[in-house]
Structure 1
């Protein structure tokens, strides 16, 4: 069921029941249980990649000073240009996916992120091409 919902969050209960060979009532109860127990936390929409070819996408690797990671994460989560935010191991503490509609705004986004208290260092890579989706 989860695999079907991951593929298409709008799939009908009836279709899931058919594909999993369960009754509609069983599927409904299982989905309600997964929602109630936070196994399923939300439903979302995926936008076709490269729908907007002018969109600037980048990954920013961030080093955080000392134990300031949670404060930095809190600030980053408020920024609408940030699409995803990951903690990592190794040289960088955080990995951030950024989107912007143009280079001027992209520059402003980078400046805004770099000015967050607790960010020690960063490196940004603009995505040029995507080959596997």
Structure 2
């Protein structure tokens, strides 16, 4: 991946719907170059897909929490399908340290969040959880 690829990915992170011609003008290169680069980045797996990033109007009523989860030894394979089936679990990362998983959980109300946290704690193989409710977002460089 070279500098042009990095600039192209950065431009797409700002506006994934930008047409190739607009990206080419912004990057000072030919439209065919942009199209070829996009195809190569997609084929190589550097770009896995294009998505929608929800704005404040769509997420304002969502309550988010990070949930740290300790799993019994060798139980992760049984825990993951149960977590994947829970719509409130948006993201799951394996981690090092005291906890085995870090989850991003979202709900429409504190009552729904409480239910989701209880459901996570009841999954066979989960032995410990710690929840951190998100109050405000100060930095978000996810894209």
After superposition, give the CA deviation of every residue in 1:30-70 in whole Å (9 maximum; x if it has no partner).
11122223221111111124754442111100001102223
Q: Secondary structure at the match of 2:33?
A: helix
RMSD after superposition: 1.8
Q: Give me the whole-angstrom Cα distance separating, in 1, the residues matched to 2:37 and 2:113.
A: 44
Query: Following TM superposition, by how much is the alpha carbon of 1:19 offset from its aligned partner in structure 2, in angstroms?
Result: 2.1
Is 1:59 equivalent to 2:66 in the alignment?
yes
After superposition, give the CA deviation of every residue in 1:67-109 in whole Å (9 maximum; x if it has no partner).
2223322321222111211111111111111111112222221
Unaligned runs of 5+ in 1: none
Q: Give me the whole-angstrom Cα distance separating, in 1, the residues matched to 2:81 and 2:58.
A: 29
- Relative distance call for 1:30 and 1:42 in structure 2 (3 A) is same
Unaligned runs of 5+ in 2: 1-7
Aligned match of 2:106 = 99
Q: Secondary structure at the match of 1:113?
A: helix
Aligned match of 1:27 = 34
Is 1:6 equivalent to 2:13 in the alignment?
yes
Deviating beyond 6 angstroms after TM superposition, the runs of 4 or more aligned structure 1 residues are none
Aligned match of 2:124 = 117
Is 1:85 equivalent to 2:79 in the alignment?
no
Q: Give me the whole-angstrom Cα distance separating, in 2, the residues matched to 1:35 and 1:14.
A: 18
Tell me how many residue pairs correspond in the alignment. 133
Moved more, 50-59 or 109-118: 50-59
- Relative distance call for 1:35 and 1:132 in structure 2 (3 A) is closer
Query: Following TM superposition, by how much is the alpha carbon of 1:123 offset from its aligned partner in structure 2, in angstroms?
Result: 0.7
